Amino acid sequence: MSIERFIHDLPKCELHVHIEGTLEPELKFKLAARNGIALPFADPKAMRASYAFHDLPSFLALYYGGMEVLLKEPDFYDLTMAYLARAHAQNVRYAEIFFDPQAHTARGVSFDTVIRGLRRAQTDAENRLGVHSQLILCFLRDWSAEFAMATLLESLPYKQWIVGVGLDSDEKNNPPAKFAKVFARAREEGYLLTMHCDVNQEDSVAHIWDCVNLIGVDRIDHGCNALEDAVLCRVLAERKLCLTVCPISNAFVTDGPQTDVVGKMMDLGMRVTINSDDPAYFGGYIEENLALVQSKLGLGREGLATLSRNAFEAAWLPRAVKDGYLAMVDDCLARA
Ligand code: HPA
Ligand code: ZN
């Protein structure tokens, strides 16, 4: 079996994907037509060709602009169903999906509309395709802590549909400490916690330390700069804190895909995983991200299986369910 075939067949777990970042131009056009919105491009190809970003803020401007076609419950359903179908086609068995409710409620779309569309697609994808997924509510860190707290309170009636909370958007001048109270309350409510520590931000290493010591996160999104601090790496490895690295995304918004970072983290026994982040914008889903890491690091089947196992181990699932997925990885390796 070729290594490409093995990457495809490997049972996968995706832990870092923003549902709004899976909105492909073709679906944008379909939703825009349905909602009577005019788009300033002739067709999806022209829209895709216009995508230009070189750092996190320039990407985020495009990402938020793209959401304007998402207005009604079926829009959120179609978005989520499209992602889960693509994930299924790449042998993703389980995904933890970020959503950004404030990017919608701030435009007048209700929290209820957003989450009902997402949830209905998750249920249908589970029944029809066998892909299981859970939701992580992300707060937008460039808005106020008060808005985040209000959003947390708004989420509580839907708590059984949400496994945890995260923090995304522009990290500059928006450190973890700004949201300490919100995350403490989220913890009290039973949510698991993660936060973005984007690559090469001001005070990246200090922010990762704050995630660990001040917030007490269960996971870190990106977190590549941890490698600058040997003590931090040891703490992350000892505590088995998962880092969700997104190489193709990093190649667009930082100085490279950070695949060397992935290799070093693996060598240090850190729980690193490979993910797609915003695949409709960066042009690669999980399989393409794994293929990039494999080619840059020359990973064999064992190394690839380790990355997949890391993700299932870090999944916010009961032990017995994780063990079922890990057995599937073992099976795939045995058959290869
Ligand atoms: N970082 C910060 N905010 C984001 C990201 C990301 O990787 N993707 C979508 N919003
Ligand atoms: Zn992200």
**Domain ranges across the chain:** 3-335
Phi then psi dihedrals of residue 246, to 5 deg: -130, 85
Q: What digits encode the pLDDT tens for the residues 274-294? A: 999 999 999 999 999 999 999
Residue of minimum CA distance from atom 4 in ligand 1: 169
Q: What digits encode the pLDDT tens for the residues 213-224? A: 999 999 999 999
Residues having CB within 6 Å of any atom of ligand 1: 18, 21, 56, 63, 168-169, 196, 198, 249, 277-278
pLDDT of residue 237: 98
Q: What digits encode the pLDDT tens for the residues 168-184? A: 999 999 999 999 999 99
Q: Which atom of ligand 1 is nearest to the CA of 249?
A: 7
pLDDT of residue 266: 98
How much is the average pLDDT of 6-22?
A: 98
Ranking 89-103, 139-153, 183-197, 251-265 by mean pLDDT, the lowest is: 251-265
pLDDT of residue 258: 94
pLDDT of residue 132: 98
Q: Which atom of ligand 1 is nearest to the CA of 169?
A: 3
Q: How far is the CA of 152 from the centre of ligand 1 (A)?
A: 19
Q: How far is the CA of 197 from the centre of ligand 1 (A)?
A: 10
- Judge contact between 289 and 274, C-beta under 8 A: yes
Strand pairing of 219-222 and 192-197? parallel
User: Does 3.20.20.140 match the CATH number of domain 3-335?
Assistant: yes
Q: What digits encode the pLDDT tens for the residues 65-124? A: 999 999 999 999 999 999 999 999 999 999 999 999 999 999 999 999 999 999 999 999
Cβ count near 327 (within 10 Å) = 12
SS (H, E, C) 102-142: HHHHCCCCCHHHHHHHHHHHHHHHHHHHCCEEEEEEEEECC
Confidence of residue 243 (pLDDT cuts 50, 70, 90): very high
Which numbered ligand comes closest to the C-alpha of 281?
1
